[in-house]
């Protein structure tokens, strides 16, 4: 399966309440369908490797997974399972946040699932952990391997930064953990390997709107960083944004190399009159946009305070030389000031 991406829900505070139904198979028992309100995460993969589309979702304050197999043109039954790591009191949390990432981490031709959980309750110890479930002939496995206990973050993405042909899990560590502030968990023949923690050469952070505007940051989106082959050497790199800059951290067989990072200063980008580059890199994406076989780094700048409503920059091989830019207003978008064009970019 290709590197597709499911658009995530907004965070719990601003989330519209959702109801999802798990129907019996066509021709099965006419029992009333089960219902589940408030999905926290949704991901798509091919967990049994049969070429179909499978859907996995999380929901509820007591974390649980719902697996829908071979979703095509009819309702399918849900298979429900609980995370492997259950809290001592066996109760739900006041806030349980989840992040789902799908990739074929062991390169066996079937999608695998990485689930990251933040379990928070006032007056009790907070818990942070990740779980890996491998795909198999019968779909997503009930067996899970716990990883990242105590440091795992929710903002994550996947890509092959070691160049071994297997996707790796790349994430920003939980916010209150001291350095290292990012991690690579490499894909291996058996799933996920030992974590490589590293400090980004620039501060990686989520860029919010200015002032008192209530801005909801998606827990699923890998905001402020992206993975792709920026340098064109055949191994994917990590691009991170913060402090008005973007750093391209090269990947390699031994892991990422922060000491070799190329720093792009937002002040060196073309600056049309009236532009506001304080939010450089709020959206990041890597890909061959021009079809010339060479990669481009796309940098989003929401420009919350300008009439342009935001803009994107396209940087050949991640370099400012030859960079071009276009604003939402130039594309004829009808958004008003404060629109945030360029905030989220998909590969």
- Which pLDDT value is given to residue 267? 85
Residue 341 has what DSSP assignment? B
Residue predicted with more confidence, 285 or 89: 285
- Which pLDDT value is given to residue 99? 87
Here the tokens at position 40 are 């926290």
- Give the tens place of pLDDT for each residue, 65-109: 889 999 988 888 888 887 776 555 555 555 667 889 999 999 999
What is the band of 204 on the pLDDT scale with cuts at 50, 70, 90? low
- Which pLDDT value is given to residue 335? 55
Task: Say yes or no to pLDDT of 26 above 50.
Answer: no
Residue predicted with more confidence, 33 or 186: 186
Dump the DSSP string for 93-144: -SEEEEEEEEE-TT-SSS-EEEEEEEEE-TTS--EEEEEEE-EETTEE-S--
What is the band of 207 on the pLDDT scale with cuts at 50, 70, 90? very low
- Which pLDDT value is given to residue 339? 58
Residue predicted with more confidence, 5 or 60: 60
If one counts every other C-beta atom within 10 angstroms of the C-beta of residue 71, the result is: 13
What is the band of 25 on the pLDDT scale with cuts at 50, 70, 90? very low
Residue predicted with more confidence, 143 or 220: 143
Task: Say yes or no to pLDDT of 148 above 90.
Answer: yes
- Which pLDDT value is given to residue 176? 66
Residues making up the chain, counted from first to last:
347
Please name the residue that has the structure tokens 């291996």.
188
**Residue 292: partners with Cβ closer than 8 Å, 6 or more residues away:** none
- Which pLDDT value is given to residue 297? 92
Question: What does the alpha-carbon distance between residue 125 and residue 250 come to, in Å, rounded to a whole number?
Answer: 37
- Which pLDDT value is given to residue 135? 96
Question: What does the alpha-carbon distance between residue 308 and residue 319 come to, in Å, rounded to a whole number?
Answer: 24
Residue predicted with more confidence, 315 or 203: 315
What is the band of 338 on the pLDDT scale with cuts at 50, 70, 90? low
**Burial of 146 per CB tally in 10 Å (0-12, 13-18, 19+):** middle
- Which pLDDT value is given to residue 18? 32
Determine contact, residues 217/5, Cβ cutoff 8 Å: no
pTM (2 decimals)? 0.79
If one counts every other C-beta atom within 10 angstroms of the C-beta of residue 266, the result is: 20
- Which pLDDT value is given to residue 126? 80
> What's the chain's average pLDDT?
77
Here the tokens at position 173 are 């560590």
What is the band of 165 on the pLDDT scale with cuts at 50, 70, 90? very high
- Which pLDDT value is given to residue 346? 66
Q: Of 154-158, 199-203, 331-335, which range is least confident? A: 331-335
Task: Say yes or no to pLDDT of 342 above 50.
Answer: yes
| Terminal Cα-to-Cα distance of the chain (whole angstroms) | 15
Task: Say yes or no to pLDDT of 250 above 70.
Answer: yes
If one counts every other C-beta atom within 10 angstroms of the C-beta of residue 336, the result is: 8
Please state the rounded mean pLDDT for residues 183-195.
Answer: 96
Strand order in the sheet with 262-265: 225-228, 237-242, 245-249, 262-265
Please state the rounded mean pLDDT for residues 146-172.
Answer: 93
- Which pLDDT value is given to residue 74? 82
Question: What does the alpha-carbon distance between residue 248 and residue 264 come to, in Å, rounded to a whole number?
Answer: 8
């Amino acid at each position: 399966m290709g590197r597709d991406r499911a658009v995530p829900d907004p965070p719990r505070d601003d989330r519209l309440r959702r109801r999802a139904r798990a129907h019996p198979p066509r021709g099965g028992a006419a029992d009333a369908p089960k219902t589940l309100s408030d999905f926290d995460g949704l991901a798509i993969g091919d967990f049994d490797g049969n070429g179909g589309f499978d859907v996995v979702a999380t929901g509820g304050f007591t974390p649980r997974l719902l697996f829908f197999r071979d979703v095509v043109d009819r309702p399918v039954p849900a298979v429900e399972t609980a995370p492997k790591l259950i809290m001592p009191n066996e109760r739900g949390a006041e806030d349980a946040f989840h992040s789902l990432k799908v990739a074929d981490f062991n390169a066996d031709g079937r999608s695998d699932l990485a689930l990251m959980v933040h379990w928070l309750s006032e007056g009790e110890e907070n818990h942070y952990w990740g779980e890996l479930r491998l795909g198999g002939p019968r779909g997503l496995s009930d067996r899970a391997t716990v990883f990242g206990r105590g440091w795992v973050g929710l903002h994550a993405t996947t890509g092959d930064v070691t160049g071994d042909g297997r996707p790796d899990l790349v994430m920003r560590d939980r916010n209150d953990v001291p350095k290292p502030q990012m991690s690579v968990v490499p894909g291996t023949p058996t799933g996920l390997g030992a974590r490589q923690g590293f400090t980004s050469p620039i501060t990686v952070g989520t860029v919010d709107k200015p002032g008192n505007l209530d801005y909801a940051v998606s827990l699923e989106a890998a905001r402020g960083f992206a993975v792709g082959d920026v340098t064109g050497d055949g191994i994917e790199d990590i691009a991170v944004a913060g402090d008005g800059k973007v750093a391209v951290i090269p990947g390699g067989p031994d892991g990422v190399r922060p000491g070799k990072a190329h720093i792009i200063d937002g002040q060196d980008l073309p600056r049309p009159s009236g532009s506001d580059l304080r939010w450089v890199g709020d959206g990041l994406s890597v890909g061959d946009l021009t079809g010339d076989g060479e990669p481009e780094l796309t940098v989003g700048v929401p420009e919350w305070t300008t009439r342009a409503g935001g803009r994107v920059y396209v940087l050949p091989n991640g370099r400012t030389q030859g960079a071009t830019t276009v604003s939402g207003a130039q594309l004829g978008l009808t958004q008003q000031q404060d629109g945030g064009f360029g905030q989220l970019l998909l590969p």
